[in-house]
Amino acid sequence: MARDTGFPHSDAQYDFTRARRSRALSRLANRLRGEPGDVNVILPFEEVIEALGRRGERNLGLQTIDIDSIVGTVDRSRDFDRSFRPTSGRVRTRWERIAEAQRRGKPMPPIHVYRIGELHFVKDGHHRVSVARTMGHRKIDAYVTEVTTEVGPDQEIRVADLPLKGHERLFYERVPLPAEARRRIRPSRPSAYACLAEGVEAWGFRHMQARGQFLTREEVAVDWWREEYEPVVQMLREAGIANDGNETDAYAAMVSLRYLLLRTHEWDEETLERLRLEMRNPSFENTEIRRLKRSLG
């Protein structure tokens, strides 16, 4: 709760100290809980856009937005964390000046933000956001520019997630699946996206040869989903392979071993167990596949 002694200047100084203390306690709590190191690192707008892939933007004008939805910045100085608590004393003078002005009832101009999905990134107004959040405000007026991207951000996206999002974006550029299918493609490893895209393109080439006609990437993606991915995943489930894990990982493991499996007529429990191991162990791909090639070939 914000303190109100009737002395705005003194209260503003206290507010800043309280915001800095809150950040220190949050970092300690995150450490004790074993949270990732970047769990409360402010999201850098340009890096997020690069990972997600910019499509376009449009001006939405003045809106009232949730302060909790503001998690990123266009600024590269990193003076605030993801919850817009000051990361150092460098911003103290300006911060306290804004806090004092707010306590005296002076109107604050709207901030400027970019919107990606349901998340907002501050272009102008970092100190105003920080002060408002520290004083317990839930809403803030903002001029909003909406940016559309190739893939959307998750609500809890972190800096460490951006490489995976970049691989996801590249996959959907090569395999433009419809939205309902995209929700189920979730490999656990970034590298799996590239391998999966190569597998889809190879399947599409054989598919076009069989049909005797050229198909667009969109058409190949839809046919692959309906005629290949969904049926294979269903078969893997029936074989007890994809029931207790990631279905995309299971499919990718099957594809990586496909030519091997095609060369054996022994679809027995041992073969299925090898496939289960490939799906469950990320390091298995580089070592066990070579061993299986020798043993089965």
**Residue 128 is assigned to a structural domain of this protein:** yes
Question: Within this chain, do residues 141 and 198 fall inside the same structural domain, yes or no?
Answer: no
Structure confidence by residue, pLDDT tens digits, 177-203: 998 888 888 887 777 888 888 889 989
Rg of the chain's alpha carbons, rounded to an integer?
26
Question: Within this chain, do residues 179 and 234 fall inside the same structural domain, yes or no?
Answer: yes
Cβ pair 57, 148 in contact under 8 A: yes
**Residue 289 is assigned to a structural domain of this protein:** yes
Question: Within this chain, do residues 124 and 179 fall inside the same structural domain, yes or no?
Answer: no
**DSSP-derived 3-state class of residue 41:** coil
**Tokens at 277, concatenated:** 């191991």
**Tokens at 191, concatenated:** 């590298």
**Residue 163 is assigned to a structural domain of this protein:** no
- Nearest CA to 50 out of 147, 126, 180 is that of 147
Question: Within this chain, do residues 204 and 251 fall inside the same structural domain, yes or no?
Answer: yes
User: Which range is least confidently modeled, 135-139, 141-145, 188-192, 227-231?
Assistant: 188-192
Among 155, 190, 224, residue at a domain's last position: 155
Question: Within this chain, do residues 140 and 17 fall inside the same structural domain, yes or no?
Answer: yes
What confidence score (pLDDT) does residue 31 get? 74
Question: Within this chain, do residues 31 and 115 fall inside the same structural domain, yes or no?
Answer: yes
**Tokens at 1, concatenated:** 């709760």
Structure confidence by residue, pLDDT tens digits, 252-275: 877 766 655 555 555 566 666 666
- Nearest CA to 206 out of 230, 178, 227, 190 is that of 227
- Nearest CA to 62 out of 167, 158, 142 is that of 142
- In the predicted model, is pLDDT for residue 148 greater than 60? yes
* CA pair distance 120, 113, nearest whole angstrom: 6
Provide the domain count of the chain: 2
Question: Within this chain, do residues 140 and 251 fall inside the same structural domain, yes or no?
Answer: no
Residue 288 pLDDT level (bands cut at 50, 70, 90): very low
What confidence score (pLDDT) does residue 125 get? 96
Question: Within this chain, do residues 186 and 94 fall inside the same structural domain, yes or no?
Answer: no
* Residue 166 identity (one-letter amino acid): G
Residue 65 pLDDT level (bands cut at 50, 70, 90): very high
Question: Within this chain, do residues 117 and 56 fall inside the same structural domain, yes or no?
Answer: yes
- In the predicted model, is pLDDT for residue 161 greater than 80? yes
**Residue 164 is assigned to a structural domain of this protein:** no
57 vs 288 pLDDT, higher one: 57
* Residue 18 identity (one-letter amino acid): R
- Nearest CA to 161 out of 59, 71, 287 is that of 71
Question: Within this chain, do residues 64 and 181 fall inside the same structural domain, yes or no?
Answer: no
**DSSP-derived 3-state class of residue 273:** helix
**Tokens at 120, concatenated:** 């907002």
- In the predicted model, is pLDDT for residue 99 greater than 70? yes
- Alpha carbon distances (Å) from 153 to 6, 72, 122, 184: 43, 12, 16, 15
- In the predicted model, is pLDDT for residue 1 greater than 60? no
196 vs 295 pLDDT, higher one: 196
**Residue 192 is assigned to a structural domain of this protein:** yes
Name the residue range of residue 268's domain. Answer: 175-296
**Residue 3 is assigned to a structural domain of this protein:** no
Question: Within this chain, do residues 58 and 144 fall inside the same structural domain, yes or no?
Answer: yes
**Residue 278 is assigned to a structural domain of this protein:** yes
Residue 294 pLDDT level (bands cut at 50, 70, 90): very low
Question: Within this chain, do residues 146 and 206 fall inside the same structural domain, yes or no?
Answer: no
Please state the rounded mean pLDDT for residues 128-144.
Answer: 95
Domain at 50, CATH number: 3.90.1530.10
- Nearest CA to 272 out of 261, 281, 282 is that of 261
* CA pair distance 72, 283, nearest whole angstrom: 34
**Residue 292 is assigned to a structural domain of this protein:** yes
- In the predicted model, is pLDDT for residue 292 greater than 50? no
Among 126, 155, 184, residue at a domain's last position: 155
What confidence score (pLDDT) does residue 240 get? 76
